[in-house]
Structures are given as structure tokens and as C-alpha cells.
């Protein structure tokens, strides 16, 4: 038995049919023409030979009676590949939009907790002749960084798969009974509580140090971070139906924009999304006078940490959507995102990802239900408007069962009040955007993709501005409630 961390288990407690808590990815593969007919069988054999390389594939949940505390990971059954690997043939000739709609449908379905929490789908029938591979893994098993490690276990750097040592067969232990589970939960809960108590003084010291280090700006910054976000069409109670779309932008172009304006690649990603949201909202009720706020997952992993768990926190950053000038917007985003990352960096070593789990399934379940209900109130302000995540990935071509991987589009999570998630994965010279949304929040997600490409073209054409220009732009008229200063 292996206990889940408090953070990993929380993704189970707050999961509902409307808010599945799994993450995933979509890849296009170029399969040699003569090998397409039997590619599913080769893919299955390839996967089967690597199941022992990561615990994610083999472990499932064992829950406590009455959900008194968090569950345990157990490995008590052989992996049933007939269940976990599915083959889907789309009606020919299927387009990318057809594939995206199928992924949206699959991503809205919960994973069965009686099995290890992952599913793979090989999707055929694309008019291009390529095949697609859609994967989903529960967030209780891994975060974005661990997802890259999982991909590395399955993929190869050449068309010829590397040699994998076979795992010696070993007997599986029987599923633990209630007494063992409760005893393990009590011991784990005591350890979690002790760990939390050790962290608290250090966490208070670090956060206090951040505030004292800049006596003039620090407290102001912290107060601003507590300012509530404006309500938008993205911030609603959601249903299980999803919409999904993809986009890819050359990484070299984004790096050039970042160098030209002396910002980071992540700042440019946020600015691209900001510009896209301004355009989209201009046609959907207007851009709010106050800036939209992004929730950004930040990794807390130490270098070399490859554990299959979640080690991340969330920081907030202004998207400066109230600024019409794209260069001024980029500068404001650079300042805001940098401040959030600086705070997370100072507290990286003491932000807890484990906490006592006794009673947590009940408490967090009720809290999630209350929060979801509150989203139906128009007066309830969201803490953020959109989730944006940027994951650095491999820059050399990768292969699966001899087929070259062409894309690495992420598929993430949306929740009540945060009906849009835009996750970016860099791969082989490209920034691959995966846009997942609740259909109720974004029914026309293809228009948001077009707005993203328009924002990309806008930033490409912008020359750097002087500090005086930026100051003047920042004081220029801002977007009003009807989006009058935004053109699509």
C-alpha cells in the first residue's frame, strides 16, 4: 500500500460527473504507409512491454470504509489492456475538427476507479492518413511535469524502439482489508499532521520575508492579489459536455518576440491568450473594464524529481486585458507574472503538497459542492477567469512503436467557475496549445483559436516601445463593457 499525498487525494475528493479531474494529451503520428493496417497491434505490444516502467499503469485505488480518510494505491491485479487501450475509427474522411470533437466527448467521461486511473485511445480515419493517440490519466496520479516523464517512458528518440529489460513476474498481494486500510490511514494521517506542523513556522517566515523585503511595494502587491476577478462568460457553473480545440505556433517565432521585448516565452504565451480573450469577449458581452486574471500552475519540483505525484501550486497573474496596446499589455503581464513566480520561488521549499487526510473526503466534497452551487449566482465573483499552464517538453522528434510523433497537444481540466483551460506544451520546435472548455462556457471554441492566431500576428508585427510609450499606452482609453476598443 502507498498513501496518496493530501494534494493528490484532493483531486479525487472534488471530482464530480461535471468536473472530471483527469489530464491528457493528443498526438498525431505519421505511420509508414505499409504499416498502417497492423499499427494497433504493434502499438498494443509496444505499450505492454513498458507497463512496468511506471507505477501509474499498475496501481489502483483502495478506499476506506465510509471515506473516513484518503485512499491508498495498491497493486493487486494484472493490467487489463483490453480495457485500458481502445481503438476508434472515425467516419472517413475525418478532419481535425472531427478529431477534436471526439476528444472533447471522451474527455468529459469519468475514469472508472475500479481500474488503474488511465485510458489510451488510438483514433484512426483521419483524411490525412495520420493516426491520433489520445491519453487521459487522473491528476491524482501525476502533474504536468510527471506527465512528461510518463511520455518519456513510452516514447523513443529513434524510429527503432529501444531495448527494454523485461520485468520478472512477481506474485501480487491480496487487496488489503478494512482493518489494514484504517490502520495505514491513521499512521499516514499522523505523519501528515506532524509534517504540516513542521512546515508552518517556515512558511510564515518565508511569506513574512517576502513582504518585508519590499516594504513599499510588497504589501500593496499582496493586497492587489486579493482583488477579485471580473465575472465573464467563462466563469459559470458547468456541465459534463466539453469543447476542445488545438493550435500550434512556431517556438522560434515566440522566442523572437520574447527577445525583442525583453520578456520570457511564458510572458508571450500569456500575452497571446490575453489578446485572444479580448477579441473573443468583444463578441460575447464585451471585455470587462478590469483586467482578467489567470490562474497559473507553478511546479514545485526539485531538479531530478521524477515521482509520479503532484508537486505544484497555483499563482495568479493579471492578463492586462484592460490595456488596448499589445506591447503595453505584454509589459504589464511580464511584471505581474514575474511577481507571482517570485513569491512561489521564495516559498517553493515550504509550500505543502501533503496535509492530513482524516475527514478530508467529506470536508472537501462538501466544499466543492457548495462552491459549484455558488457559481450559479451572478453576484459570486471568481478568484480567476481562466487557467493557463505552460509545460516545457522535448525538442527532438519522438517515436511510438516506430511512428513519428508530430504534435503534443495537452488536454487539461475545467471546473465550476473556471470553464476554460489553455495549456501549452513545447515540442520539437513548436508551441502546441490545447484549449479545453465547458461547452456551456465556450460553445464556439474554434473562434477562440482564430482569435489566438490573430493575437499572434499582432504581436509579431509589434516593434518594441520605449518606457515613455508604454506609460502613455497604459493611461490611454481602456476597453469598456461593450468591448469598443477591440477589433477582431
Q: What is the pLDDT of residues 78-91, one digit of tens each?
A: 899 999 999 999 99
CATH number at residue 355: 3.30.559.30
Are residues 272 and 145 part of one domain? no
Together in a domain, 176 and 243: no
Rg of the Cα trace of the chain? 23
Q: Tell me, yes or no, whether 177 and 222 share the same domain.
A: no
According to the model, what pLDDT value does residue 212 have? 39
What CATH number does the domain containing 158 carry? 3.30.559.10
Q: Are residues 164 and 223 located together in one domain of the fold? A: no
Q: List, for residues 373-420, the tens digit of each pLDDT value.
A: 656 655 567 889 999 999 888 899 999 999 999 999 999 999 999 999
Let me know whether 149 and 280 are in one domain: no
End-to-end CA distance of the chain: 55
Catalytic center residues:
139
Which residues lie closer than 8 Å to 217 by C-beta, 6 or more apart?
none
User: Any bridge partners for residue 386, and if so which?
Assistant: 294
Question: Does some domain include residue 209?
Answer: no
Alpha-carbon span 188 to 444, nearest angstrom: 46
Decide which of 309 and 277 is more confident.
Answer: 277
Q: Measured between alpha carbons, how far is 305 from 149 in angstroms, rounded to an integer?
A: 10
In a domain, 483, yes or no: no
Question: Do 43 and 174 lie in a common domain?
Answer: yes
Cell numbers for 237, please give them.
Answer: 457553473
| 285 secondary structure, DSSP code | T
Per-residue cell: 487: 477589433
Domain that holds residue 233: 216-363+378-395+408-474
Kindly state the percentage of the chain with pLDDT values over 70.
70
Same structural domain, 247 and 109: no
**Closest alpha carbon to 416 in 379, 363, 369, 360:** 369
What CA–CA distance (Å, rounded) separates 22 from 425? 17
Q: Is residue 402 part of a domain?
A: no
If asked whether residues 307 and 424 sit together in one domain, one would say yes
Residue 373 covered by a domain? no
**Domain end position, chosen among 182, 197, 229:** 182
141 and 260, same structural domain?
no
Whether the CB-CB separation of 95 and 127 falls below 8 Å is answered with yes
| 157 and 220 within one domain | no
Question: Coil, helix or strand for 220?
Answer: helix
Is pTM beyond 0.75 here?
A: yes
Q: Which of 130, 156, 182 is the last residue of a domain?
A: 182
Q: How many domains does the chain have?
A: 2
In a domain, 354, yes or no: yes
Residue 245 has pLDDT above 70, yes or no: yes
Residues 148 and 253 in one domain: no
The pLDDT confidence band at residue 485, using thresholds 50, 70 and 90, is very low
Whether 175 and 27 share a structural domain: yes
Instruction: Give dist(CA 276, CA 270) in Å, integer.
Output: 10
Helix (H, G, I), strand (E, B) or coil at 467: helix
Amino acid at each position: 500500500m502507498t498513501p496518496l499525498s493530501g494534494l493528490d487525494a484532493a483531486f479525487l475528493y472534488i471530482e464530480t460527473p461535471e468536473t472530471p479531474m483527469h489530464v491528457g494529451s493528443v498526438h498525431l503520428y505519421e505511420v509508414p504507409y505499409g504499416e498502417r493496417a497492423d499499427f494497433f497491434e504493434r502499438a498494443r505490444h509496444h505499450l505492454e512491454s513498458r507497463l512496468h516502467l511506471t507505477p501509474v499503469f499498475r496501481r489502483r485505488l483502495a478506499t476506506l470504509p465510509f471515506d473516513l480518510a484518503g485512499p491508498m494505491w495498491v497493486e493487486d491485479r494484472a493490467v487489463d489492456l483490453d480495457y485500458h487501450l481502445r481503438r476508434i475509427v472515425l467516419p472517413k474522411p475525418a478532419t481535425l475538427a472531427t478529431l477534436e470533437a471526439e476528444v472533447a466527448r471522451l474527455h468529459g467521461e469519468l475514469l472508472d476507479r475500479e481500474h488503474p486511473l488511465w485510458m489510451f485511445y488510438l483514433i484512426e480515419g483521419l483524411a490525412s492518413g495520420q493516426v491520433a493517440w489520445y491519453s487521459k490519466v487522473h491528476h491524482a496520479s501525476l502533474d504536468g511535469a510527471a506527465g512528461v516523464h510518463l511520455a518519456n517512458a513510452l516514447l523513443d528518440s529513434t524510429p527503432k524502439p529501444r531495448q527494454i529489460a523485461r520485468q520478472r513476474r512477481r506474485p501480487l498481494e491480496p487487496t488489503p482489508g478494512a482493518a489494514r486500510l484504517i490502520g495505514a490511514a491513521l499512521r499516514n494521517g499522523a505523519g501528515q499532521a506532524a509534517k504540516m506542523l513542521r512546515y508552518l513556522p517556515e512558511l510564515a517566515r518565508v511569506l513574512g520575508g517576502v513582504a518585508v523585503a519590499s516594504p513599499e511595494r510588497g504589501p500593496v502587491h499582496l493586497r492587489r492579489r486579493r482583488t477579485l476577478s471580473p465575472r465573464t462568460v467563462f466563469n459559470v457553473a458547468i456541465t459534463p459536455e466539453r469543447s476542445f480545440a488545438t493550435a500550434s505556433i512556431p517556438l522560434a517565432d515566440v522566442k523572437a518576440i520574447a527577445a525583442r521585448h525583453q520578456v520570457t516565452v511564458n510572458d508571450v504565451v500569456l500575452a497571446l491568450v490575453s489578446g485572444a480573450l479580448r477579441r473573443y469577449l468583444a463578441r460575447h458581452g464585451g471585455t470587462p473594464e478590469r483586467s482578467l486574471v489567470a490562474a497559473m500552475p507553478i511546479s514545485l519540483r526539485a531538479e531530478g524529481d521524477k515521482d509520479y505525484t503532484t508537486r505544484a501550486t497555483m499563482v495568479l497573474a493579471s492578463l492586462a486585458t484592460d490595456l488596448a496596446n499589445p506591447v503595453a499589455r505584454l509589459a504589464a503581464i511580464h511584471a505581474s507574472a514575474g511577481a507571482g513566480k517570485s513569491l512561489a520561488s521564495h516559498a517553493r521549499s515550504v509550500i505543502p503538497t501533503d496535509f492530513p487526510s482524516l475527514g478530508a473526503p467529506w470536508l472537501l466534497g462538501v466544499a466543492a459542492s457548495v462552491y459549484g452551487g455558488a457559481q450559479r449566482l451572478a453576484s459570486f465573483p471568481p478568484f480567476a477567469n481562466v487557467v493557463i499552464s505552460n509545460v516545457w517538453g522535448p525538442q527532438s522528434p519522438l517515436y511510438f512503436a516506430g511512428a513519428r510523433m508530430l504534435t503534443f497537444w495537452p488536454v487539461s481540466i475545467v471546473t465550476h467557475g473556471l470553464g476554460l483551460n489553455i495549456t501549452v506544451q513545447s515540442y520539437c520546435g513548436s508551441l502546441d496549445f490545447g484549449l479545453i472548455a465547458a461547452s456551456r462556457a465556450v460553445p464556439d471554441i474554434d473562434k477562440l483559436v482564430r482569435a489566438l492566431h490573430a493575437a499572434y500576428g499582432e504581436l509579431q508585427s509589434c516593434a518594441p516601445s520605449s518606457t515613455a510609450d508604454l506609460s502613455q499606452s497604459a493611461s490611454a482609453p481602456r476597453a469598456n463593457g461593450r468591448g469598443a476598443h477591440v477589433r477582431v
